[in-house]
Amino acid sequence: MSTNIKTAIFNTQYFGCIPMYQALIKHENILIENQEYFQKMSYRNRCEILGSVNIITLTVPLKGGRDQKIHTSDIEINNTEKWQTQHIRSLQSCYNKSAYFEHYAPELEQIINRPYKNLHELNLATIKWVLKKLKYTGNISYTEQYHKTYPEDSFIDYRNQFIPKSRERYPTNNYYQLFQQNGFQPGLSILDLLFNEGPKAKSILINSQ
């Protein structure tokens, strides 16, 4: 792990994108944003996985829609829609033949099926699970109030840097993907890397530029 002593700040994502974890894993001190306003067109309530034909977006439905101007921690999940079943089935369809699907699937199903009230709780659960699987040993803290900016001599602000429309902007070392007939697809959910590479995921993230 990097000896970078600056604190790196990240917003929460739903099974976040590989570029986010690629940045995170190289810092010993990370700060998770707890107090931001919800941003639409982001990975906060979606993730992208690779299907046999194209990229599939898994979206967590929200009460009141995505245009709300409230804190992410106050955004409630619309659990009247059976999104959990759809997400689990999609993951099974896309990755049941991958090398490490059976290893991770039981715990993932438990995470997805928990009765979360708000999006922030769900996202934090996915982040904690991923960091455990990556054997991240750094320090994790959480914001207690929102700050638009942080001193650049002590912080690196990654909030809102990793977004769906910029998926191909952040290079990751190529790794094995189950469906590669259309070429390597960068910037997908961290689940794509874990399902395909398992314990090698951490070294791939660390060694990527």
Task: HSE, CB side, 13 Å, CA atoms: give it for residue 143.
Answer: 26
Could you identify the residue written with the tokens 């190529």? 174
How many CB atoms neighbour CB 148 within 10 A?
A: 7
CA 130 to chain centre: 8
Domain ranges (residues) in the chain? 4-207
User: What pLDDT is stored for residue 67 in this prediction?
Assistant: 65
Task: Determine the Cα–Cα distance for residues 55 and 50; give it in Å rounded to an integer.
Answer: 5
- Residue 189's DSSP bridge partners are 17
User: What pLDDT is stored for residue 19 in this prediction?
Assistant: 95
Q: What is the pTM of this model?
A: 0.93
User: What pLDDT is stored for residue 171 in this prediction?
Assistant: 72
Low-confidence ranges of the chain (pLDDT < 50): 1-3
